[in-house]
Chain A
């Protein structure tokens, strides 16, 4: 996988669903929240990069084994598999909710999910390089349609920047707190899944650079998307929207002819969720074939699980979003994205700093700080 594939993969992954939903409307000036969130998220990503460096070319599951020992490591691996599958199934649910409200109505969701799951399985079984190439295509499509939407909104005269005011009506403090509460974990924190593929990104340094670049571009795009949505719908109105971008797209009307581009929004989310799910399911299958030790392909079965869970996971919209904003963050995101990786990194540092200095350090050193060695050479 080359750098561009990696970058677009991360970008599409980050934009996937959040371009439709935007940040949760916990504070006014959501776009500012979006802009700020990238800073702590970037720091969180440094933790992942640290892990990738310490893992020495191995994937997340190797690191867990190495840090915690085989038994506990295997337990964490299982936890991560479940976590990945759960997140994937939530994403599928997001997508189905949108499809059921925007383009279909009476078709049983189970049929739609089954079709979708087949596609996910096909995408996931192709390997990360194929997914990277897929993401280039999808990034092109998503980018094209997103900017088409933006342009059409501007042309139909729906954009009114006055609607962004009043600015900071509830003070800066609230805006600063929200990213820590939610935006950092979603979508940025979900990058933890790429620890499974970090070796495909090259060295830890390229991983960091690619990741940061993708995060910054995603942040800018999301901020732009949020500004767009707010200036079309108004700050007061957007709180009532389940899918703000969808509601914004409904405002498009050019000569009464180009109207109702709901389908484009559905296309955006279907493709975005497809890439996200393919990555999650692929990660889970790697973990599964590692844990269960069989050289079987788990893609199809994992994908079916995702589909089934996406139906079982909640009863309705409200439950789905409330779970997402409250319980998932505290019970899943924070442990899986912060606590376990941090603990693993610490254990790796402690266990391998002294004991195995003889075997490990050179490679570790090279991976960690190629920057310094290069500069040293240049100085000499």
Chain B
């Protein structure tokens, strides 16, 4: 019977497969552990000191695992390169490492000042590391401290940091896009320098030691976003505050929404506007050998608080507010660009990139000295914000005189 012969052939092949296979690439989930965060610091003798955050799945999913305990465990290894430390990880850890789920790579500012390229190559090359892994700079504190901050409910540090950074960027725009992919783009593209997100820790990290952080409603220590880290090539040269970073995002067109509190005219207090949409048109041209940058910023938002009793049920009330807001944003923008020009002298905004993409022939000869030219560039900005509504009430609720 043909069918029977086929069956036997199939069974034999299956048996051969099962018996001969080395299952070379097999990694059982219950015999391995996820690597979720990495922190890089300078170690002794010019070596790297790398801290790995390893997930304890049962701890991170308290509702499902039999056991619980801490969600993550930190291991610190010193080595000549990150690849070296990563491959030796089992020196300390009992499980196989799955590096594919790294969410956050925190880099110490001391390391960042020496340059990132040398070890980012490993990350870029590896197929395991996602393109959207966050690269962050630890400001003022050692990078490994970042990973020591725990939160209740099985939320481990790298998860917390990732979602905190993402949410802050989306809701307020106080941190730049800081994925591995953005790093690659910034390094490769002409006429734009790198910025990465910067974070810091407030409070006392060591207080976490006895898990006290879980017992108290007031966190003993917490990760706080510090704005953006500015690079020249791949070396850290300084920071921007979260307010400055917001302007940076606005100019780059990466600001999704934000809330602006601006002073009212005649010192009547502040008003705040929830900006839902903002867009910047950039025009860069070369005039007399110097770049001439014109920005046209447009935005749209809703009024959400008002200190003074302005007549926002009338057109002129809105107009006054819009004008105050636009003027405030214009000042902030010019101030911020001026500071970057003077203090850092690197084009983090991508004005050069704009020139490169749209006026290739003009950009080509000045490619090398772009940053120097940028520092001397003349910047103009016209800002026009539109306030589309005042939410539920037409004016502040108070007794009318």
Chain A residues within 8 Å of B, Cβ to Cβ? 101-102, 104-108, 111, 162, 165-166, 169, 234, 236-237, 247, 250-251, 253, 259-260, 262
Q: Is the CB of B127 within 8 A of A166?
A: no
Interface contacts beyond A106-B25, A166-B360, A260-B130: sample of 6 additional A-B pairs, CB < 8 Å, sorted by A: A108-B24, A166-B356, A237-B188, A247-B131, A251-B131, A253-B132
Contacts A165-B358, A234-B189, A237-B188 given; indicate if A107 touches B25 (C-beta within 8 A).
yes
Q: Is B181 interfacial (CB 8 A cutoff)? A: yes
Interface residues of B in 149-196 (CB under 8 A from A): 181, 184-185, 188-190
Residues of A within 8 A of B188 (CB): 234, 236-237
Residues of A within 8 A of B47 (CB): none
Bound form: Cα–Cα A237–B185 in Å:
7
Residues of B within 8 A of A259 (CB): 130, 132
Within the complex, what minimum Cβ distance (angstroms) separates B154 from chain A? 17
Residues of B within 8 A of A106 (CB): 24-25
Q: Is the CB of B132 within 8 A of A166?
A: no
Residues of B within 8 A of A162 (CB): 357
Within the complex, what minimum Cβ distance (angstroms) separates B212 from chain A? 31
Residues of B within 8 A of A251 (CB): 131-132, 181
Bound form: Cα–Cα A251–B179 in Å:
11
Residues of A within 8 A of B127 (CB): 101-102, 262
Residues of A within 8 A of B100 (CB): 260
Contact with A along B241-273 (1 / 0, CB 8 A): 000000000000000000000000000000000
Residues of B within 8 A of A105 (CB): 25
Within the complex, what minimum Cβ distance (angstroms) separates A236 from chain B? 4
Contact with A along B1-45 (1 / 0, CB 8 A): 000000000000000000001101100000000000000000000
Within the complex, what minimum Cβ distance (angstroms) separates B18 from chain A? 14
Bound form: Cα–Cα A354–B127 in Å:
64
Within the complex, what minimum Cβ distance (angstroms) separates B319 from chain A? 34
Bound form: Cα–Cα A107–B23 in Å:
8
Within the complex, what minimum Cβ distance (angstroms) separates B32 from chain A? 14
Within the complex, what minimum Cβ distance (angstroms) separates A275 from chain B? 24
Within the complex, what minimum Cβ distance (angstroms) separates A206 from chain B? 38
Residues of B within 8 A of A236 (CB): 185, 188-190
Bound form: Cα–Cα A236–B184 in Å:
10
| Among A101, A102, A251: residue with most chain B CB under 10 A | A251
Q: Would you list the 9 A-B pairs with minimal beta carbon distance, nearest first?
A: A166-B360, A165-B357, A236-B188, A106-B24, A107-B24, A169-B360, A250-B131, A104-B25, A106-B25
Residues of B within 8 A of A101 (CB): 127
Bound form: Cα–Cα A250–B184 in Å:
14
Q: Which of B21, B130, B185, B358 is the one whose CB lies under 8 Å from A234?
A: B185
Within the complex, what minimum Cβ distance (angstroms) separates B400 from chain A? 48
Closest to A104 in B: B25
| Among A111, A166, A169, A259: residue with most chain B CB under 10 A | A166
Residues of A within 8 A of B190 (CB): 236
Residues of A within 8 A of B25 (CB): 104-107
Interface residues of B in 189-209 (CB under 8 A from A): 189-190
Bound form: Cα–Cα A104–B127 in Å:
10
Closest to B359 in A: A166
Bound form: Cα–Cα A162–B356 in Å:
11
Bound form: Cα–Cα A140–B185 in Å:
34
Within the complex, what minimum Cβ distance (angstroms) separates B169 from chain A? 13
Residues of A within 8 A of B181 (CB): 251
Q: 10 pairs across A/B with beta carbons < 8 Å?
A: A104-B24, A107-B25, A165-B360, A166-B360, A234-B185, A234-B188, A251-B131, A251-B181, A253-B130, A260-B100
Bound form: Cα–Cα A169–B181 in Å:
24
Contacts A105-B25, A108-B24 given; indicate if A250 touches B130 (C-beta within 8 A).
yes
Bound form: Cα–Cα A251–B177 in Å:
14
Bound form: Cα–Cα A166–B353 in Å:
10
Closest to A237 in B: B188
Closest to A238 in B: B188
Bound form: Cα–Cα A260–B21 in Å:
27
Bound form: Cα–Cα A250–B181 in Å:
10
Residues of A within 8 A of B21 (CB): 111
Bound form: Cα–Cα A259–B129 in Å:
12
Residues of B within 8 A of A262 (CB): 127
Residues of A within 8 A of B360 (CB): 165-166, 169
Contact with A along B43-76 (1 / 0, CB 8 A): 0000000000000000000000000000000000
Bound form: Cα–Cα A260–B102 in Å:
13
Within the complex, what minimum Cβ distance (angstroms) separates B28 from chain A? 15
Within the complex, what minimum Cβ distance (angstroms) separates A244 from chain B? 13
Residues of B within 8 A of A247 (CB): 131
Residues of B within 8 A of A237 (CB): 184-185, 188
Interface residues of B in 344-377 (CB under 8 A from A): 356-358, 360
Within the complex, what minimum Cβ distance (angstroms) separates A246 from chain B? 9
Within the complex, what minimum Cβ distance (angstroms) separates A27 from chain B? 14
